[in-house]
Amino acid sequence: MLYLTIGLATMFGVSAIVGSAAIDEAAALVFDERLATAYTTAGIIERDFARLAADVRSTQEADARLPGDHVAEAQRFVDDLGTKERYPFFSVIGACLADADMRVIADVGPTPSTIIPFDRCTEKVPVSSSFQVARASWTADAQVALADLVVPLDRAAPGDAAFAVLRLASSNQTIPFDPASFGRVREGSGPPPDSGVYNLEIIDPDGVTVLGIGRDERSGAPSAHYPAIRQTMATGTAVALVDAGNAADGVEPHVMAVVPLSDTPFFLLLEQPTDVALALPNQLRERLVVLIVVGFLAAAAVAWVTTRRVVQPTERLTAAAERMARGDFESPIQVSAQDEVAVLAETLDLMRLQLRDALEQLEQSNRDLERRVAERTARLGQVLRKIISAQEDERHALARELHDETAQTLAALSIALDRARDEMSHGSSSALEQIQGAKEIATRLLAETRRLILGLRPSVLDDLGLGPAIAWYAETTLAAEGVEVVLDLKPATRPPAHLEVSLFRIAQEAISNVAKHAHARNARIGLLVDESSATLSIEDDGVGFSVAETLLHGPHRGSVGLAGMQERVALLGGRLEIDSQAGEGSRIVVIVPLIEEAA
């Protein structure tokens, strides 16, 4: 879906770029059309200047019967040309006849201004064979001066006027300028469309509007557009541009086409609001944006639906595979598809069924195996208990035999040696010494035999139980090494005989290790027996040892004490904890369950 989105975005992005370029070209055509319209309008005004010049010559020929009456001739120009409706942009309100130096011969009309000498009709301008347009050299209260039209006259007699200077007033209007119908009746009915109407200005070199047609035009005042076109007017070029306007002054953005009026100091400006002039490109741009957005969304929706038809079954297959990975082989795989995904779903569901059957068979096999292991473990436990019991019975029998026979024999031998020594009290001293040595050997042998008897099966274990037996062994073994022993023995009940013997043997091994290897000063032995378990703990403050190293390498070095303790605890189904580090003493805890043993 990401790749499709990127592809669609790229495709529609390229379409947007191409469409935007086409719209920009359309906007450029709008500027060209506005510039062409400005040129056409300027041509109409230039044509009217030429027609007025031709009308001046026609009037001059008609006035040939009034030679020498220059005032009447000037008045005739005003009367004949000022009433014509063929000049929609201006009207003739005055005339001045001048000699070759532009000095006044006759003047009819508005008051001359102060920009030229009072004895001249207008400023000195180069005049071609036809006419010349100059800046207005007069003022009037009710009129806005447009220009002075200078027309050379064909006079043969000396003293006749060489030039006719017509005072042209602006035909200002407050209605929009429609190039298609200005100055004549518009064909058709109804007002023209906004795209076909403009605001028209003719601006002099000082930026003053001398002709204005439009709703907001102010003739005779500085043009609001002059700052934007000042550079263009200075270079005398034509241009179409967008003026951003000034929101503070209430001037909206607008499009302007500015062209110079040929052979005049004036510039013509056609202006339209931007939203009117560029309405078509803006509409095209808006439609392009809407089409691209709608098209992209529609294509993305179709792509999403299409991909979902592929992705959704895949997601369901993935979820089913995850359930199978978690061990759920009961939930069926439900995927609706018509393609390879359906075949894959059927294959995966078949594999699920096979795995479920295989798992059930494996579980059944595991249960059977666990049952057999449990049975064999129970049998092994029974055998091991019997072995331990047999060992203890053998030790017990051996101890009893040593006690009943060997010890008694050694005691009788010791007594016999005493009697022999007594009877030979007056005999050889050497014989006495030998008898005394034999007596000491017999005594040591008797003591060792009694020690062996106690080691094989202390009678205190059978008579008093596990707690007193451990206390007796700890006192007889550790006291001889100078170790202070603290006993915390709380046997609430006596465990089964084989457990009692095994725990005693474990305690015996641990106490012997403390006496032989720990070099300890203090030791603490604890025993707690309740209805559920028996807990035996032996700890000391000796040199300690590395538990891992001892368990790993001890059997190879002939040290099997810890290994033997582990085996005994494992046979009893208990737990052995050994905590020791070099220089920090050691602690051994044995926990044996009694409930399982009872069961």
Going by C-alpha positions, the residue among 516, 586, 509 that lies closest to residue 544 is 586
- pLDDT for 589 equals 92
Measured distance CA(136)–CA(143) in Å, rounded = 12
Residues ≥6 apart with Cβ < 8 Å to 339: none
Task: List every span in the chain annotated with CATH 3.30.565.10.
Answer: 463-599
Task: List every span in the chain annotated with CATH 3.30.450.20.
Answer: 194-275
* Number of neighbouring beta carbons within 10 Å of residue 378: 10
Instruction: Specify the pTM.
Output: 0.51
- Judge contact between 178 and 186, C-beta under 8 A: yes
CATH number of 463-599: 3.30.565.10
- pLDDT for 185 equals 44
Residue 503 structure tokens:
């725990």
- pLDDT for 119 equals 80
Measured distance CA(221)–CA(230) in Å, rounded = 16
Alpha helices by DSSP H, 326-428: 340-401, 407-423
Going by C-alpha positions, the residue among 178, 172, 201 that lies closest to residue 191 is 178
Measured distance CA(227)–CA(183) in Å, rounded = 30
SS3 85: coil
- Angle of helix 497-513 versus helix 561-571 axis, rounded to 10: 160
Quickly tell me which residue has 């072995």 as its tokens.
387
34-65 as b/e, with b when 16 or more CB fall inside 10 Å?
A: bbebbbebbebbbebbeebbebbbebbeebee
Residue 65 structure tokens:
């019967």
For 498-558, strand residue ranges (E) read 522-529, 533-540
Quickly tell me which residue has 């044509």 as its tokens.
47
Alpha helices by DSSP H, 424-465: 429-456, 459-463
- pLDDT for 308 equals 76
CA neighbours within 13 Å on the CB side: how many for 434? 6
> Domain 2-170: which topology?
Beta-Lactamase (3.30.450)
Measured distance CA(542)–CA(521) in Å, rounded = 7
Quickly tell me which residue has 């207008």 as its tokens.
122
Residue 539 structure tokens:
């700890």
Measured distance CA(250)–CA(252) in Å, rounded = 6
In order along its 599 residues, the chain shows pLDDT tens digits of 788 778 888 888 888 888 888 888 888 888 898 899 999 999 999 999 999 988 888 887 766 555 567 888 888 888 888 776 778 899 898 899 888 888 888 888 887 765 667 788 888 777 767 888 988 888 877 788 889 999 988 765 666 788 889 999 998 888 888 887 775 544 455 555 656 788 899 999 999 999 999 887 788 888 888 888 888 888 988 999 888 877 676 678 888 999 999 888 999 999 888 888 787 888 888 888 888 888 888 888 888 887 777 777 777 778 788 887 877 777 787 776 667 777 777 787 788 788 888 888 888 888 889 888 878 766 766 666 666 666 655 666 565 655 556 656 666 666 766 666 666 666 556 666 677 777 677 777 766 665 666 555 566 777 778 888 888 888 888 877 888 888 888 776 778 877 888 888 888 888 888 888 888 889 999 998 888 888 999 999 988 888 878 777 655 554 557 777 888 788 788 888 999 888 888 999 999 898 655 44
Residue 486 structure tokens:
């603290």
Beta-sheet pairing, 533-540 with 575-580: unpaired
Alpha helices by DSSP H, 208-334: 226-235, 274-277, 279-325
Residue 551 structure tokens:
């368990």
Domain 194-275 has CATH 3.40.50.300: no
